[in-house]
């Protein structure tokens, strides 16, 4: 119970890493505002948290829309009276190389994966300052570090996540800490139509010989959100089973 009395917002909480993180934060004692554009999945996450004895409310929002982001902060303040933790996790992307991506797909990818962090930080930080402290955790990716074929927009956005994370860390410390999580290949719905047997290249190249689970990322988020990480600021924590240390990854 590392986060008793803390209020957290998790975006992209309807499935995958967001669902896993929201659930773990609640298990560690945090009060959760689960945010997503997918109402049905969001309601499922909140119900799951409550079934396990946690405290959570939902907030349907498009994190690339400033009015929705302002509302999500207000939901947290009205429900719990404070804001301590923001996990900017929602994502959307269109695959393809530069010449094949439409301008609208490029813009939507950067809006959800990058602009949303700007908006989240912009409106969360003043609320956190009223409480005296706060922690922002941004979901970047190993795409922030290495290039992947046919991921031009996503790679660009995730590279920018590192920049925002560091900027906030410098500008708003010591009251606010800002760090990034860089997941590797994590088993979420993205993999539903992909063969993930032992021959999958992400498995064969990974020293741990498996895909990650959402709970692997949730564990890292809980650590960074807790007082155990009180001297960690502006860091990029890679959680990929060692995938990016392999030369041909």
Catalytic positions, written as ranges: 154
- CB count within 10 Å of CB 209 equals 11
Q: What are phi and psi of 65, to 5 degrees?
A: -110, 120
HSE-CB for 67 with a 13 A CA cutoff = 0
Residue 26: CB partners within 8 Å, gap ≥ 6? 32, 49, 52, 54, 55, 56
Q: Nearest Cα to 167, choosing from 179, 150, 156?
A: 179
Tokens of 135: 């922690």
Tokens of 92: 């959307």
Instruction: Please report, to the nearest 10 degrees, the dihedral formed by the alpha carbons of residues 110, 77, 57, 137 taken in order.
Output: 40
């Amino acid at each position: 119970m590392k986060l008793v009395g803390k209020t957290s917002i998790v975006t992209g909480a309807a499935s995958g890493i967001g669902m896993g993180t929201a659930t773990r934060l609640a298990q560690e004692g945090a009060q959760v505002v689960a945010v997503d554009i997918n109402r049905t999945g969001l309601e499922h996450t909140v119900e799951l948290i409550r079934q396990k004895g946690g405290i959570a409310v939902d907030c349907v929002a498009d994190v690339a829309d400033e009015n929705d982001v302002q509302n999500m902060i207000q939901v947290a303040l009205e429900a719990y009276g404070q804001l301590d933790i923001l996990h900017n996790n929602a994502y959307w992307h269109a695959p393809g190389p530069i010449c094949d991506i439409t301008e609208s797909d490029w813009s939507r990818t950067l809006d959800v994966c990058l602009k949303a962090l700007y908006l989240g930080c912009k409106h969360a930080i003043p609320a956190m300052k009223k409480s005296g402290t706060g922690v922002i955790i941004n979901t970047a990716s190993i795409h922030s570090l290495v290039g992947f074929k046919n991921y031009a927009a996503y790679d660009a956005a995730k590279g920018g996540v590192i920049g925002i994370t560091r900027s906030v860390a410098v500008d708003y410390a010591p009251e606010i800490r800002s760090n990034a999580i860089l997941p590797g290949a994590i088993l979420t719905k993205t993999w539903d139509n992909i063969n993930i047997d032992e021959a999958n290249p992400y498995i064969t190249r990974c020293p741990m010989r498996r895909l990650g689970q959402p709970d692997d990322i949730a564990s890292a988020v809980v650590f960074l959100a807790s007082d155990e990480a009180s001297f960690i600021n502006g860091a990029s924590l890679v959680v990929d089973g060692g995938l990016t240390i392999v030369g041909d990854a």
